[in-house]
Structure formats: C-alpha cells, structure tokens
Amino acid sequence: MCIFEPKSGSLLRLRSPLFSLGILCWHVESNAIVLSTEAATVGVGAGQMSRVESVRIACSKAGDKTKGTVLSSDAFFPFSDGVELALNHGVTAIAQPGGSVKDADVIAAVDKAGAAMIFTGARHFRH
C-alpha cells in the first residue's frame, strides 16, 4: 500500500479509508465509489458505464456531507476528471488501487488540491 500525502505534511488517518474500503469491498459493485467518514457511509455511486458518473452520483447523494470525506474506488481512475470532481465537492482523501497509465496525472490533481491518496494495489471491481 502506498500513501501519498499533501505537501502540507498533514497526516492522513487510516481509519476512514479502511472503513470506506470495507464497505466498498463487501457491498458495492461495478464502477463503485463510496464516500465515508470514520464510521458512516454518506454517498454511494455504482453500476455506471463511467467512473466519473459514479463519482457524480455519490457526491449528489452525500450532498453537504461530502466535505471532509474519504472516497474509495473499486478500480483505478483512468483519468484525473473523476478525482477532480470529488475534490471539488470537498473530498479530502482518496483510496484506490492505482495502476492506470495516467496515475501521474491523478497524483498531480490530488497534490494540487492538498488532499491525500492511498494506492491499495488491489482491485475490487465486481460485476
């Protein structure tokens, strides 16, 4: 597992991402996005052809509760657009498998926003 923290040096607490990944792995399928706090799921988006659309649905469901959440994804982000959308809604950390040829673009978007990201190295994508 690789952890990318913002240049500001603030610490990423692992409790929220681990909770979010647990929900993701057991209960959500196909382009799954879970937004959570330390102990509650606040938004879920899944079953879409586009990962960006899953992010949009999860953020819409979470509403104002999106601010300060962790986003977990069952598969890598192939482009930075989904990550940028989540960060613009107030997500502060992202947990995803990584492995996209565009990982550097995704890391740059997260770093620019001052957020944190965990690359788990394991896909949980299910149909």
- Tally: H helices and E strands in the chain: 4, 6
Report d(CA 78, CA 80) in Å as an integer. Answer: 7
* Residue 121, token pair as written in the block: 């190295």
Give me the chain's average pLDDT, please.
81
Predicted confidence (pLDDT) per residue in 3-33, tens digit: 555 554 444 444 555 555 555 545 666 788 9
* Distance between CA atoms of residues 60 and 120, nearest Å: 26
* pLDDT tens digits, 71-118: 988 888 999 999 999 999 999 989 888 889 999 999 999 999 999 888
Question: For the whole model, what pTM was predicted?
Answer: 0.80
pLDDT at 22: 55
- pLDDT score at 118: 85
Task: Tell the residue number behind the tokens 């926003």, with chain if given.
Answer: 113
